[in-house]
Amino acid sequence: MDIDIKAAVHAVEAPAVMELFPARPRVLALGEPTHGEDALLELRNELFRQLVEQEGYRTIAIESDCLMGLAVDDYVTSGTGTLDEVMEGGFSHGFGASAANRELVRWMREYNEKRPAGERIRFAGFDGPLEITGAASPRQALSALHSYLASHVEADLLPCTADTLDRLLGADDTWTEPDAMMDPTRSAGRSAEARELRLLADDLVALLDMGAPHLIATTSRERWDRARLYGRTATGLLRYHFWMADTSPDRMARLLGLRDAMMAENLIALAERGPVLAFAHNSHLQRNKSTMRMWDHPLLEWWSAGALVSAQLGEEYGFLATLLGTMRHQGVDVPPPDTVEGLLYALRDDRCLIDASELASALGSVKVAPRASSYFAYAPMDPANPAANDGFVFLRDVPQT
């Protein structure tokens, strides 16, 4: 293909990233096309360090359990626990085993050690307590929310006692039944107890919101914000479990959408306290509708967290998708020359930043082909609308680690 895209290509550096936007985005998201490759995370670490040090970003949020991530945040901000402990217990999806994630946490702690509280960077998971095979019990989130309120509001304002919650929650393995994802009849999400818990959770969150002036004054904004996280997570989990028990054809698409809606709520809440750097799979952060083929289902479609945040924040949301050339240890070889990845691979830069609008201009009316991949865990770029992104980060070769 005789297309010159060199004008769209820049160095992967913080100043070049900022040139893509009219002003600093309140949420700047970097996506990855596959999980489990530390070379992609090392590139993330390098770019995020620059954006923290040069552009004032103060929260790094990744696609991991939002409740587990609290332990990592406590470690990087105040040194609570040890690095080994938070890597083992502070991440979901197996991400704590990543050497690059470990290096990120180590650097964040080192960065914060000699800085006052107002200048420290924060860590957050922004995923719900969810795995592709199921969802956690709402016990931790509901109990923590109830405990916070019970300590700071009059007892007769509470919609229930802790004992009532405990009775309705029952055994945790009822909620985490491994067969429920494939068989909705095994889900506890539509039991009488689960329905009552949804109402109680809603009342507890309403009480948290109604009492905000008193609660913030008597505890702190930080503790109230954490209680809000418990409330979002409790209501989100109970909603997710309810729809796990659905038997309609739209069940899986709805569950994917609910997960990303929880992610979006967490990102919006994090952005209230300052600018956020977010990292997750491209499919969770893109502005276009996300799609997936799963098991024997037809093509599933849903709005990603990035699309939802973008709808609310407008130009204050920025998104860079990461593209790759080869990942030979997973069978991903040199991209065909008629794909976007192939055009970038031919430039021979080890890494580069691409301005999406300049790329779209260079392509003009030329239709580039979508890249095919035999590796199920890698999602190549959809070339239909490159300008739906703000930019791309390209890594030419992903080595085996």
Q: What is the pLDDT of residue 367?
A: 86
What tokens were used for 245? Answer: 């028990």
Q: 1 falls in which pLDDT band (50, 70, 90)?
A: low
Burial class (CB in 10 A: 0-12, 13-18, 19+), 397: middle
pLDDT band at 108 (very low <50, low <70, confident <90, very high): very high
**pLDDT tens column, 21-43:** 999 999 999 999 999 999 999 99
Q: What integer pLDDT is reported at residue 389 of this predicted model?
A: 94
* Alpha-carbon distances of 178 from 188, 191, 252, 352, rounded to whole Å: 12, 17, 16, 42
Q: What is the mean pLDDT of residues 270-291?
A: 96
116 pLDDT above the threshold of 90? yes
Give, in order, the Cα–Cα distances in Å from 396 to each of 329, 337, 356, 363: 14, 14, 18, 20
The residues, any chain, with a CB within 8 Å of residue 348's CB and separated by 6 or more, are: 396
The residues near 398 (Cβ < 8 Å, ≥ 6 apart) are: 37, 39, 40, 324, 325, 326, 327, 332
The yes-or-no verdict on residue 297 having pLDDT over 90 is no
What is the C-alpha separation between 355 and 378, in angstroms, rounded? Answer: 23
pLDDT higher than threshold 90 for residue 137: yes
pLDDT (0 to 100) of residue 206: 98
Q: Which pLDDT does position 127 carry in this prediction? A: 98
Mean pLDDT over 3-12 rounds to: 93
Q: Is the pLDDT of residue 226 over 90?
A: yes
Structural tokens at position 8: 């769209």
pLDDT-derived band of residue 295, with 50, 70 and 90 as boundaries?
A: low
- Report helix, strand or coil for 351: strand
* pLDDT of amino acid 254: 96
As a whole number, mean pLDDT of residues 237-265 equals 97
Give the mean model confidence (pLDDT) for residues 330-356.
95
